[in-house]
Amino acid sequence: MHEPAAALRERQANHGGGTFVGSMAELPPQIDHDKGAADVLLVDFGGGNHGHRGQYNAMLAQLFRLRTAPFGPAMLLSRRVVLVPQIEVAPGLFFMTCLIRTALGLRTVGLLLRPLPALHGTSLRLRIKRAALILLRQLRRVSVLTIIPFAVDPALSRIARGWIHDLQNWDFALGSATDPAQSALTASQVRGAAAGRTVCVAIGGQNRAKGFDRFAALWSDNAEMRRAFLFAFGGTVSADLSAAAARFAETGGYALNRFVSDAELYGLYQAADLVWCAYDPSYDQASGILGRAMQFGIPVVVRKGSVIERLCHLVDHPHMTEAALAQGAAVPLPIAPHQAAARARAQGRTSLARLAEALGTLPAIDPFVAADPGQIP
């Protein structure tokens, strides 16, 4: 097993995830450069600007010249391309928007964050959604992009025109406004509590979908695990799991059962030897938590057969199953920081080019221009 503190010190000192190198000359030549200053209308159908969705919207606002617009006649009739960052918020409104704007010869783009339920779901609602997406796939002025590569499930090409990597697989390219001192403090506190043990962290809101019930039980019920590991989490635990959270803390787990700032979240990553991504089958999708772990080069814990496990196989990211962790298997070594940064750079370059092609406009910034290679978000 690797030495956790040494690996973390090397990762923190050398990680190149804050800035990546590349060139916008690699964008597809079919983009109309004369329209490089054209606006994009970002429409999220009232989904709100918080959590994962807010982070997506903020990142898209940095990457492209866009402004937000509400659903309504002005948006439907606008000659600007319309971008819907999360189709799942209101799939019916998205479908109607696409049909109306296609009839007017106008372009509409949408991101599908949870494509597999739409592709394989058997409920009437999901069958209707699948049929609608298959129809939209035939419309030339509509581009639906998934955040799961088609290699994970080639049948995704039935319901989407293309794919990008999850934005949170490569968002470190845009830097971070987090407080590095707070991140370092959180990391130091967790490592101090670990006292040389291997650290496994669960990040963000904790509930059954995120597998917190199993995470907490694996710690609380296993004295051997507690001798070799420190389990830590940061994020509010759902009310139905309050007893599990209390027992987790009583048995020595490191618990931040509250809202956790971005700086503290980054500190948890910096302290981690493993990141918990063994989510419930009801939450079988790409994950920003996985994306950040990949950018840091940290191995992850997965549920066998999950989308996250397949994504790890696809990009050769170190991982172990929940069962292997419970059985005491060796923890995979982290990826070297320069390798993690190079992978994120490649994913970002590909994704940005595909977004730009779908939108028919050049990005507002080039996040892959070299800056300070030692910057850590």
Helix axes 262-271, 4-14, angle to 10 degrees: 130
In this predicted structure, what is the pLDDT of residue 35?
44
Distance (Å, whole) CA 85 – CA 69: 12
Among candidate residues 61, 68, 74, 65, the one with its CA nearest the CA of residue 38: 65
Task: Please give the DSSP secondary-structure letter assigned to residue 329.
Answer: P
Q: Which two tokens stand for residue 50?
A: 């918080």
Pick the CATH number of 38-163 from 3.90.320, 3.40.50, 1.10.3470, 3.30.530: 3.40.50
Q: What is the pTM of this model?
A: 0.85
Amino acid at 310: R
Distance (Å, whole) CA 47 – CA 90: 8
- Residue in the block written with tokens 């978000």: 377
In this predicted structure, what is the pLDDT of residue 19?
28
In this predicted structure, what is the pLDDT of residue 177?
67
- Answer for the pair 313, 298: CB distance below 8 angstroms, yes or no: no
176-326 under CATH 3.40.50.2000, yes or no:
yes
CA distances from 98 to 113, 141, 192, 304, 321 (A): 18, 8, 54, 37, 41
Distance (Å, whole) CA 244 – CA 231: 13
Q: Is 371 helix (H, G, I), strand (E, B) or coil?
A: coil
- Answer for the pair 108, 84: CB distance below 8 angstroms, yes or no: yes
Distance (Å, whole) CA 61 – CA 67: 8
Instruction: List 162's β-bridge partners, or say none.
Output: 145
- Contacts for 301 with CB less than 8 Å, ≥ 6 apart: 200, 274, 275, 276, 277, 278, 319, 320, 321, 322, 325
pLDDT in tens, the chain (377 residues): 444 433 443 444 333 333 222 333 333 333 343 344 448 999 988 766 555 678 889 899 999 999 999 999 999 999 999 999 999 999 999 999 999 999 999 999 999 999 999 999 999 999 999 999 999 999 999 999 999 999 999 999 999 999 999 999 999 888 766 789 999 999 999 999 999 999 999 999 999 999 999 999 999 999 999 999 999 999 999 999 999 999 999 999 999 999 999 999 999 999 999 999 999 999 999 999 999 999 999 999 999 999 999 999 999 999 999 999 999 999 999 999 999 999 999 999 999 999 999 999 989 987 876 544 443 33
Sheet holding 162-163, edge to edge: 66-68, 40-42, 81-84, 108-112, 142-146, 162-163
Cβ-based neighbour number of residue 102 at 10 Å: 16
**Residue-range domain boundaries for the chain:** 38-163, 176-326
Domains 38-163 and 176-326 share a fold: yes
